Amino acid sequence: MTTFALVHGAWHGAWCWERLAPLLQQVGHDVVAMDLPIDDGSVSFDGYADVVCAALEECDGDVVAVGHSYGGLVIPLVAARRPVQHLVFVCAYDPDVGRSLSDQLRDEPESFNAAAKKGFTLDAQSRIVWADHGMARELMCADCDDATVEAALQRLRPHSPYANPLPCSLTEFPAVSCTSVVCTDDRLIGREWAKRVARDRLGADLIELPGSHSPFLSRPQALADVLLRAAG
C-alpha cells in the first residue's frame, strides 16, 4: 500500500483532489491531502513543507508526493526531510537549488503565461486573487464543464506571494525518482519549458496528458492511472 500526499497549487486547497482521491483509495491506497497556508503572508516554502510533513507524521509506509503547479516547489522539500518513494510534478514548477521562484520567473519568462497577471488583483493584505473569472477558466480549467468550473472558482483562495522571493532550504535536490506530467493544452505553465525542465533538471519520466492545467478536475482517471504506475 502506498500513501499519496497530494499537494495543491496556488489559490487551491485540499478540495481540488476530491475527484482523484477516491480513485486511488478504491484500489487500496491511502491519500493525505492538506490545505497549505497559502493565504498567510508570513509563511515560506519551508513552512508549507512543514504542513505536508505534519500531515504525514503517522505514515510509515511508502509515500508518493504529488505536487500540482505551485505545489511542485514544495514536494522536494518534503523529500529532503522524510522518506519519499517518488515525486510527481503535475503541470508544476520545481525548486532550482540556489534560486528563488522570483529568480526563475525573471530568468525563464517562458515558464509562465504573463497574460495571467491581467486577471489578478491584490486584496487588502496584498494577496493575489483572481478578479477575472473568465481568464481564470481559460488558463486553469479550459477543458472542464461549466458546473465544475463554477464550483472551482467559488473555492479559490487568496494567494500570498510572500514565499516567492525567498530561498528555500535545499542545498541539493533530493535523490528521489520523479515523474513529470505535462498537459498538452496547459495555458498557464509553458509546455516546452516544462518538458525541458523535466529532462534537464529533474531527470524525470515525462508523461503527456491531453487537456489544460487541472487534470485532477477534467481527467481524474487518467491522472490516477499515471500516479498508480509511478507508485509501482
pLDDT digits (tens, 9 = 90+) for 92-115: 999 999 899 999 999 999 999 999
Q: How many residues does the chain have?
A: 232
Smallest Cα–Cα separation from 183: which of 104, 68, 86? 68
Distance, CA of 94 to CA of 33 (rounded, Å):
19
> 217 Cβ partners below 8 Å, 6+ apart?
16, 19, 141, 144, 148, 152
pLDDT at 168 over 90: no
Q: Quick one: residue 166, left, alpha or beta (phi over 0 = left, psi -120 to 50 = alpha)?
A: beta
Smallest Cα–Cα separation from 181: which of 191, 167, 171, 173? 191
Cell numbers linked to 52: 505536508
Cell numbers linked to 3: 500513501
Domains of the chain, by residue range, sit at 2-231
What is the pLDDT at residue 82?
96
Distance, CA of 76 to CA of 87 (rounded, Å):
7
What is the pLDDT at residue 232?
86
Domain 2-231: give its CATH architecture: 3-Layer(aba) Sandwich (3.40)
Q: Model's pTM, two decimal places?
A: 0.97
Q: What percent of the chain has pLDDT over 70?
A: 100
> Cα dist. 114→39, 109, 111, 135 in Å?
22, 8, 9, 12
* Structural element, H or E, at residue 87: strand 86-90
